[in-house]
Amino acid sequence: MARPLISPSILSADFARLGEEVRAIDTAGCDWIHVDVMDGHYVPNLTIGPDVVKALRPHSEKTFDVHLMVSPVDQWLESFAEAGADIITIHPEAGPHAHRTVQAIRGLGKKAGVSLNPGTHEDSIDYLLEDIDLILVMSVNPGFGGQSFIHSQLGKIERLRGTIDRAGLDIQIEVDGGVNPDTAKLCVQAGADVLVAGSATFKGGEAHYAANIAALRGSGV
């Protein structure tokens, strides 16, 4: 079983020292940096904008994995691409034309991701599969960190894995929400490639980041 990539969500970092926190998780061995962008409209929380992503970009050369929980979403694509996002993930419900949005992301030279909320069926993106690089399965309802893992999403991961493999597509499956060393193992067994972990990465402070990341990654062994 392949070891998963770990993408710590900076939503759980110390916002007063975000640059230092990004450097710390980079040094601790993370694979990607997950940036949760919330607008207080599509989800009931407000986080950061493209200027913060731009300010953080010099602190790490790792992949910036930007998850846009905003609606309407199209107007923000160019700003986050210019700020330094490498992957831009959107929710199909956040704009009237998800296919056009995905094409726009790729037109900006970025990898395109689509996120599925717990109540969103995987069949809803059947006609996007040939145009995306990433599927983000939300294992909590989006909007806040620190929520409990919704186990029904494991079946969704398994079904997506089967669909992707049968079609021979190069799409990574990412999971976000309530991921810890225990649930991480279940996600990887179901077919996940990338694990987003906020609380599980940042708990205990900087001295524990490397061990926390190793514990999450070890779930794939």
Residue 202 assigned to a binding site: no
- Using alpha carbons, select from 90, 10, 14 the residue that is nearest to residue 53: 10
Catalytic residue among 65, 74, 133, 176: 176
The verdict on whether 126 is a catalytic residue reads no
Residue 59 assigned to a binding site: no
Residue 199 assigned to a binding site: yes
Residue 146 assigned to a binding site: yes
Catalytic residue among 36, 39, 74, 193: 36
Residue 34 assigned to a binding site: yes
Residue 144 assigned to a binding site: yes
Are 168 and 177 within 8 A, CB to CB? no
Residue 107 assigned to a binding site: no
Q: Which residues are annotated as a binding site?
A: 9, 34, 36, 67, 143-146, 176-178, 198-199
Known binding residues for substrate: 9, 67, 143-146, 176-178, 198-199
Show which residues are catalytic: 36, 176
Binding-site residue ranges for a divalent metal cation: 34, 36, 67, 176
